[in-house]
Amino acid sequence: MQEMAVTYSIGEVAEMFGLSVPTIRYYDKEGLIPNLNKNAAGVRRFNEDNVSTLKIVECLKNAGMPIKDIKQFVQWTLQGDKTLNERSQMFQELRVSVQEQMKQLQETLDTINFKCAYYGKATSDGTEKYVKEEMHLN
Amino acid sequence: MQEMAVTYSIGEVAEMFGLSVPTIRYYDKEGLIPNLNKNAAGVRRFNEDNVSTLKIVECLKNAGMPIKDIKQFVQWTLQGDKTLNERSQMFQELRVSVQEQMKQLQETLDTINFKCAYYGKATSDGTEKYVKEEMHLN
DNA sequence: CCTTAACCTAAAGTTAAGTTTAGATATTAA
DNA sequence: TTAATATCTAAACTTAACTTTAGGTTAAGG
């Protein structure tokens, strides 16, 4: 009474992640999806582990990490406990980096909000003239 | 009793913005810095207006806008009040886009924080074994 | 004056992260 | 069983955003 392991085709995985099929092949080629099996005909079958790996790959991508560094991390995970320090340090540095990105993005949003107010007034005036005087304070 | 207009060299501007000199020349070539004057010898002199333009260019870059779209915005500003609607709409769309980026980045940070806790425990244990069981809940 | 650092243009080169193409094989639904 | 759809590999191509190179000219300090 063995459970049949659930697997997914590359097209299904592409759909799940909103990525293109060639992009996923490219990630595989780059070594970002270790232990990805192929059937007798050479067709990729993704198991839950492979999907989990892709989830963390996506997280690291969203954090702005380049593919080669993501690959390094994946290699570390394959090497087991002896690379725990490297991985721990990587995530701590990444946290700082993402916090800085958030701060930068918030400043950008503040500026954009100011511009939205500026152009809101300007469009309702039909001209930049008055809002420019008002907001430049000159 | 005329005030002498303050101007900056390309090197000073590069310093101000943390950009390389060739990058600023590239922006100029791409049309992102209109009304940038050169002296008789062909050397660029940046006035306050040019610096202000670069500030907004940097903001748009940080918002993830590609150079060609930034150029479009700069062109609109040169065309005066008749492009107010385009510019207003651009900033409203940009606001939404940046808000979405912030949300995405926050989710990424949440995942990274989880991983920091995971690897913090794993490194103090000297192995992933226990924290994996604990956190995977299996 | 002289030299050293900063500036110029034009054109070629780089890099990351995919995308596209070509030609072949596999899977699925009717 | 056949047609349409999905998959495969390898290699070439694309794009954005710079950077580098080459060969000069200019500006500033001693």
For A124-138, how does the pLDDT look when each residue is reduced to its tens digit (9 = 90+)? 999 999 999 988 765
A99 touches chain B (CB under 8 A): yes
Q: How many domains does chain B have?
A: 2
Half-sphere exposure of residue B109: CA atoms within 13 angstroms, side-chain side: 15
Nearest to B94 by CA among B75, B72, B118, B120: B72
Q: Is residue B112 included in any domain, yes or no?
A: yes
pLDDT of residue B136: 76
Please give the structure tokens belonging to residue B43.
């050397």
CB A109 within 8 A of CB B130: no
- Please report how the helices A84-125 and B84-125 are oriented relative to each other, as an axis angle in degrees rounded to 10: 160
pLDDT of residue B3: 60
Mean pLDDT of chain B: 95
A18 touches chain B (CB under 8 A): no
Q: Is residue B87 included in any domain, yes or no?
A: no
Check whether B109 has a pLDDT greater than 80.
Answer: yes
pLDDT of residue B137: 63
Question: Is residue B47 located within the same domain as residue B3?
Answer: yes
Question: Is residue A68 located within the same domain as residue A90?
Answer: no
Check whether B119 has a pLDDT greater than 70.
Answer: yes
Best B77, B112, B124 residue to mutate vs chain A (most A CBs within 10 Å): B112
Question: Is residue A34 located within the same domain as residue A66?
Answer: yes
pLDDT of residue A136: 75
Find the CATH number of the domain harbouring A32.
1.10.1660.10
Give B59-108 pLDDT, tens digit per residue.
Answer: 999 999 999 999 999 999 999 999 999 999 999 999 999 999 999 999 99
Q: Among A40, A58, A78, where does a domain finish?
A: A78
Q: Is residue B83 included in any domain, yes or no?
A: no
Question: Is residue A69 located within the same domain as residue A126?
Answer: no
Enumerate residues 6+ apart whose C-beta is below 8 A from B137.
Answer: none
Question: Is residue A36 located within the same domain as residue A97?
Answer: no
* Cα(A105)–Cα(B61) distance, integer angstroms: 11
Q: Is residue B40 included in any domain, yes or no?
A: yes
Question: Is residue B61 located within the same domain as residue B105?
Answer: no
Nucleotides in D strand less than 7 A from protein CB: 6-9, 16-21, 25-27
Q: Is residue B13 included in any domain, yes or no?
A: yes
pLDDT of residue A4: 67
Question: Is residue A47 located within the same domain as residue A10?
Answer: yes
**Percent of chain B having pLDDT more than 90?**
92
pLDDT of residue A39: 95
Question: Is residue B63 located within the same domain as residue B117?
Answer: no
Question: Is residue A54 located within the same domain as residue A100?
Answer: no
Residues A48-82 as b or e (16 or more Cβ within 10 Å = b): eebbebbebbbbbbbbebeeeebbbbbebeeeeee
pLDDT of residue B117: 97
pLDDT of residue B100: 97
CB A54 within 8 A of CB A33: yes
Reading chain A (138 residues) residue by residue, the pLDDT tens digits are 556 689 999 999 999 999 999 999 999 999 999 999 999 999 999 999 999 999 999 999 999 999 999 999 999 999 999 999 999 999 999 999 999 999 999 999 999 999 999 999 999 999 999 999 988 765
Q: Among A78, A93, A128, where does a domain finish?
A: A78
B113 touches chain A (CB under 8 A): yes
Q: Which domain holds residue B115?
A: 95-138
- Please report how the helices A48-62 and B84-125 are oriented relative to each other, as an axis angle in degrees rounded to 10: 120
Question: Is residue B6 located within the same domain as residue B71?
Answer: yes
CA→C1' distance for A23 and C19 (Å): 8
Which residue on chain B is closest to A122 by alpha carbon?
A: B84
Question: Is residue B74 located within the same domain as residue B132?
Answer: no
Q: Among A78, A108, A123, where does a domain finish?
A: A78
Question: Is residue B69 located within the same domain as residue B119?
Answer: no
Q: Is residue B43 included in any domain, yes or no?
A: yes
